[in-house]
Amino acid sequence: MSWQSEKAHGEEIAYRLAPLGHVEVVRFFSGAALRLDGVMFGFMSRGSLFLRVDDVNRPAFVAAGMGPFSYERPTRTVALEGYYETPADVLEDAGALFDWCRGAYRAALLAGAPKRKARPKSKPAPKPEATRKRT
């Protein structure tokens, strides 16, 4: 699917989530991210909605037979365990969609901002001989 069709699908879902608050739909790679108060809790990709999961809401996704978002690399398949596909029956039921998205938002809030890899600290430059104190 194109970015425009992912965005249109995301905006339809955002409209249905109005009781949750103002859900913003923004570009996310070739799909569309769903954000509430600046917190990304889900995204649209390949025509599916993927929601943020944690140990509290993941069992519902697994029980529905859903799995994590994954993509192919030349040498392996990469799975993002933090986002699971939403079942079709949840997408069709406004109440269920609201509950699942509220749970995804809670999981995203608890997960916090993505952690960046720390750069190794460089060693401080040695002091020149002239500035060292002599004892």
Summarised one tens digit per residue, pLDDT across range 72-115 is: 889 998 788 899 999 999 999 999 999 999 999 999 999 876 66
pLDDT for position 6: 83
pLDDT for position 131: 57
- Please state the CATH superfamily assignment of the domain spanning residues 3-112 in this structure: YgaC/TfoX-N like chaperone (3.30.1460.30)
Residue recorded with tokens 């949750």: 20
Looking at the predicted structure, is the pLDDT value of residue 125 above 70? no
Domain spans of the chain, in order of start: 3-112
pLDDT for position 74: 92
Longest dimension (CA), the chain: 80
pLDDT for position 115: 60
pLDDT for position 112: 76
Segment 7-65, tens digit of pLDDT: 888 899 999 999 999 999 988 888 889 999 999 999 998 889 999 999 999 999 999 99
pLDDT for position 119: 63
pLDDT for position 123: 62
51: which strand partners?
42, 84
Q: Which two tokens stand for residue 131?
A: 């500035």
Q: Which residues contact 91 (CB under 8 A, 6 or more apart)?
A: 13, 49, 97
